[in-house]
Amino acid sequence: MKLYDELRSACLEHLSGKQVSSVASQLRSLFLSDAVFRMLNEARRIEEGRAVSGVAWRLTAAGHASLLATGIRRLVDKDKRAGSLAGIIARLRGGHELLTRRHYVEAGGDPYDWEADKEKYLREVVEAGVDNTGAVHRGHIDWVHSQFKHQRFDQLCDGEGRDPSQLISLLVLDKLSAALKSDAIRRVTTYTDKVIAHAEHLTDGIELPTYNDIDESLRILCQVCNFISTAIFYDSDRSQVVATPQYNVTQHLDAPLALSTTLPDLQQFWADYSRERDGWSSAKSGYDQQFLVSQPVADDEPEAQAGSS
């Protein structure tokens, strides 16, 4: 039971802990970023005839694609060091022998035999002699949770009957792993690996992901996360994946990125920026000397006289 509690605590911490690397934190960030982009895109749809800065929108769209694609890729990363759903499922496989009915039901101090505990509770209520005008002290009715846990475990295990040593079926873990390998997630992760994270030359044959693939991937990830929390560990429901902002998300959206009077200054900024960066690769900067074996002799430098010290 101690080993099961350690496994359960570690998985739940990775799943929904307060760290930014937890699965729940990563999902909240992805859904918020996606919601903002979709809202901006909706504004473009509604205001079809209004001009929008091309350079600003291309940056926004590219940023959204990179954020969502790499974020989805992280959550299905199989590396054991990664805070990912795939990593949690791998951990469950590694400790499969601990996923018994008894451990499942008794986690948190609930009794295994809920019927006996219920009978004991009702007997205590009767013996207390509470009449219709009094209040029954509810306390912590452990057997209610135990009853639900048994019913839930019935849906997770193979075979019939209720044996304390029954295990959560490997088929459940197989289905969770299969969900993370869906066609939509495969297209997103392949694009991330071959285009975003690595500049692979032979990318003509890959299937480019669509916005529908992003939606489908996010749906699968949040459902797998929620299932592990509620079904595998009988813990909290993570139903609210889009966090409620403590501010007005549409505030200042009607404000321009820059005033028309500022545009000349911005054009000058662009020219200065380009000139400085172009200088980095100019031969006059002498950038190449840091990579040479020996420093070249300048044309106007006199050659050393033979025999001179």
- Domain match, 25 and 88 both: yes
Q: CA of 249: how far to CAs of 20, 46, 242, in Å?
A: 22, 17, 13
Q: Is the pLDDT of residue 151 over 80?
A: yes
In the chain, the number of structural domains is: 2
Asked if 280 and 211 sit in the same domain, the reply is no
Please state the rounded mean pLDDT for residues 73-78.
95
Three-state SS at 168 = strand
Residue-wise pLDDT for 2-26, tens only, equals 999 999 999 999 999 889 999 999 9
Q: Are residues 227 and 189 in the same domain?
A: yes
Which of 178-187, 241-250, 274-283 is the most confident on average?
A: 178-187
Domain boundary among 232, 248, 280: 232
The 3-state DSSP class for residue 250 equals coil
Tell me the residue range of the domain where 270 lies: 260-290
Least confident residue range of 3-12, 65-74, 129-138, 244-253 = 129-138
Residues 219 and 278 in one domain: no
Q: What angle do CA 105, 169, 234 make, to 5 degrees?
A: 35
Average pLDDT of the chain to the nearest whole number: 87
| Residue 82 to residue 88: CA distance in whole angstroms | 9
Confidence band of 109 (pLDDT split at 50, 70, 90): confident
Q: Is the pLDDT of residue 137 over 70?
A: no
Candidate from 1-10, 163-172, 243-252 with smallest mean pLDDT: 243-252
* Cβ neighbours around 148 below 10 Å, total: 14
The reply to whether 153 falls in a domain is no
The reply to whether 127 falls in a domain is no
Condensed to tens digits (0 to 9), the pLDDT of residues 49-68 reads 999 999 999 999 999 999 99
Look at residues 53, 58, 44, 61 and name the one whose alpha carbon lies nearest to residue 262. Answer: 53
Q: What is the pTM of this model?
A: 0.83
The predicted pLDDT at position 121 comes to: 66
- Looking at the fold, whether 273 and 195 belong to one and the same domain comes out as no
More confident residue, 97 or 129: 97
Residue 309 has pLDDT above 70, yes or no: no
The C-alpha angle with vertex 240 and arms to 237 and 241, in degrees rounded to 5, equals 110
Co-location of 33 and 87 in the same domain: yes
Do 272 and 219 belong to one domain?
Answer: no
Question: Which residue reads 């209040």 in tokens?
Answer: 135
Instruction: Band the pLDDT of 130: cuts 50, 70, 90.
Output: low
Residue 266 and residue 217 in one domain:
no
Domain-embedded: residue 141: no
Residue 243 confidence class, pLDDT cut points 50, 70, 90:
confident
Q: Look at residue 195 and tell me if it is in a domain.
A: yes
Q: What pLDDT shows up at residue 117?
A: 67
| Confidence check: pLDDT of 97 > 50 | yes
Give 36-52 pLDDT, tens digit per residue. Answer: 999 999 999 999 999 99
12 in a structural domain: yes
Q: How confident is the model at residue 95 (pLDDT cuts 50, 70, 90)?
A: very high
89 in the same domain as 40: yes
Is there a domain that residue 282 lies in? yes
- Determine contact, residues 16/58, Cβ cutoff 8 Å: no
The answer to whether residue 130 sits within a structural domain is no
Average of pLDDT values for 267-279?
A: 95
- For residue 126, being part of any structural domain is answered with no
Instruction: Indicate whether 222 and 268 sit together in one domain.
Output: no
Residues 95 and 198 in one domain: yes
Segment 237-252 mean pLDDT = 83
